[in-house]
Chain A
Amino acid sequence: MNRLEEFLTAWRLSPAKDSPVDTIVADIEMDRLLEVAAAARRDHEASLAMMTALDLLPESPRFRLVVVLHVPGEKRYLVLRAPLSADKPEFPTLTALFANANWPEREIRDMFGLTPVGHPDPRPFVWKGGWPRDLAPLRKDVKLDRAYPVERALFPVTRVEGEGVYEVPVGPIHAGIIEPGHFRFQAVGDTMLAVDAQLFFCHRGIEKMAEGRDPSAALLLAERQCGTCSVSNALTFCQAVERTAHVTVPARARALRLVVAELERVYNHVNDIAAIPGGVGFAFLGNQGLRVKEEMQRRLRALCGHRFLRNVLVPGGMRQNFDDAALQKIAEEFEGLWKELKKPVKIALDHSIFLDRLETTGYLTTKNALALHAVGPAARASNVAADTRLDHPYDAYAELGSWKIPTRQEGDCMARFRQRIAELDQSIEMLKNAAKSLPAGPVHEPVGRPAAGAWAIGATESARGENMLLVRFDGNGLIGRYAVRTASYCLWPCVPTTIRGNIVPDFPLINKSFELCYADVDR
């Protein structure tokens, strides 16, 4: 018996019969949720990977709270599922246990109208005045009328008071070409004390739109949730759908998925390596990075017809098959381009002003990274060796044999910069190896209609970290719930922890060293 099963037995729980692949699900009473989650955290160092709600109308009790825990060293996610009735739409907050429960609980309150009792932050989260405050758009019986007037929502923010403390409001429209977010800095002189970030200006209602669609129609939404994470979001979705329908993806498709995922990672990391020096005005490396990124995107268009790698995936495998020779060529070309970029990167790393700005700026401590379930290169630069490709291996990553992801100790902007350099080297290597030994065979396996009530969780590693998606089907093979939690969603709460004591002009740099996506958070 595995330690997760032992854990459940010790708490008089048994794995649910509908546990999807790579999860172990336990149905639990709401009043025991806190206790069991606390035990999982205490005994097994579990962290909160995802938290969401389901509206199962007309079932009774109507709602389910779904708490997905990541247990280090376990391939399976531990899922606690607690019922919630419509008569008493409240649940105990988990924020005292998991600091990162703050956001999903506020989101559940805004989107489902379920109240986290004892939550420290009563402010609205997703809602920014676009629709009536108490609408709860993700409830099944809600009537969504598009004629709602828009309100000017006020943003109550965290304030610091004292002599000489002032506030710097920034956004939602920024100075560069950046996505919308509203920031309020509390500063003394140039030194930042706190920042409050308000997001969701990009909220497009993707989760609601996906409901009632079949997987092929929902795939379009997954691909367009974020421009630069098309592959990872689509892959997470395809993986979840395949798990609900119990489809095994053919070997060649699994290998091709690794290739496209790594191609995406490479051009994203190159973009970040261009953006970080942009944050300190080191335009030389910024422009070199943009040049290399453009060259890469042109090759991506030649390969698959799209500069952002859309239209390559489909539930059941690959939508496009590629030539082995074409993939070997693009892998070599990407390697050549990355080698070209390494020259200006080396110049930057020898440049005292560049080093001065990046080093000791924006520390993400290991403690905070763990408490907030930080993911991706940002977590790894703070000595948290988390990587979905290793922790919950999928597709051809499961067949890679033993490999290790590099990590760093420091946790500052420079660490995140160097971390991406190390990961680029590794991704290029992975790409070349994968392109050399592609198995032959079909690239697509038909996906049958998932059963009513079938659900699964998909998890993949995007360039920013672990993306997760829960999909649940109603009857007729149509989606009943589509819940997304992306890497940026995990990392945004980390950013305010890194800024204290830094100067206001370093905020763009810190922000860029995480290079988070707003569209991925806002959905």
Chain B
Amino acid sequence: MLKQLWIALTNRGVVGAPDTLPPARMNITGKPVLTAGRCTACGDCARACPVSALRIVGEESSGGRGRTLEFSAGRCIGCARCIEACQPNAIAFLHGTETWRIGADDEWRSIDTREGK
């Protein structure tokens, strides 16, 4: 908890900082993750998505913290247009084996956050 808070605090203003993560390649199998602190919930990715697999939820509150990005794995066709549209380079797809879901998959879920430097 404290660690996450620390990451969130230290990553503020990471936009435009030298990227120490591997470049966002168009690897679209697996599940999407956001690099901590980078997503500004601007909605560019949701607008770029041709199958509406991304959406912004929540109301704008002070500092823009009320808005978050949600993802529907069952809708995503892996065209990587969100990766291209994302100015702060926040979205990446990580290969993982546990992508299955029980039942029909048309649910919206918030996206996991990974640590970034």
B79 pairs with A220, CB closer than 8 A? yes
**Of the residues A217, A224, A307, A320, contact of B26 by C-beta under 8 Å:** A320
Decide yes or no whether A306 CB sits under 8 A from chain B.
Answer: yes
B50 pairs with A310, CB closer than 8 A? no
A305 pairs with B79, CB closer than 8 A? no
CB contacts (< 8 Å) of B25 on chain A: these are 305
CB contacts (< 8 Å) of B79 on chain A: these are 220, 310-311
B50 pairs with A305, CB closer than 8 A? no
B116 to chain A, nearest CB (A): 19
1/0 per position for B8-45, CB-CB distance to A under 8 A?
00000000000000000111110000000000000000
B93: nearest chain-A partner, CB-CB = A305
* Beta-carbon contacts under 8 Å, A38-96 to B: none
Q: A304-B26, A305-B27 are in contact. Are A217 and B78 (CB under 8 A)?
A: no
Q: A217-B50, A220-B50 are in contact. Are A305 and B26 (CB under 8 A)?
A: yes
CB contacts (< 8 Å) of A311 on chain B: these are 26, 28, 78-80
A305 pairs with B80, CB closer than 8 A? yes
A311 to B50 alpha-carbon distance, docked (Å): 13
A72 to chain B, nearest CB (A): 39
Decide yes or no whether A174 CB sits under 8 A from chain B.
Answer: no
CB contacts (< 8 Å) of B27 on chain A: these are 301, 305-306
CB contacts (< 8 Å) of B77 on chain A: these are 220, 224
A306 pairs with B26, CB closer than 8 A? yes
CB contacts (< 8 Å) of A306 on chain B: these are 26-29, 78
CB contacts (< 8 Å) of A304 on chain B: these are 26
A276 to chain B, nearest CB (A): 29
A224 to B50 alpha-carbon distance, docked (Å): 14
CB contacts (< 8 Å) of A220 on chain B: these are 50, 77, 79
B28: nearest chain-A partner, CB-CB = A305
1/0 per position for B65-86, CB-CB distance to A under 8 A?
0000000000001111000000
Given A220-B50, A305-B28, 14 additional A-B pairs, CB 8 A: A217-B50, A301-B27, A301-B29, A304-B26, A305-B80, A306-B26, A306-B28, A306-B78, A310-B78, A310-B79, A311-B28, A311-B79, A311-B80, A320-B26
Would you give 16 A-B contacts (Cβ < 8 Å), ordered by A?
A220-B77, A220-B79, A224-B77, A301-B27, A305-B25, A305-B26, A305-B28, A306-B26, A306-B29, A306-B78, A310-B79, A311-B28, A311-B78, A311-B79, A311-B80, A319-B26
What 10 pairs across the A-B complex have the smallest Cβ distances? A305-B26, A305-B27, A311-B26, A305-B25, A311-B80, A217-B50, A220-B79, A220-B50, A305-B28, A311-B79
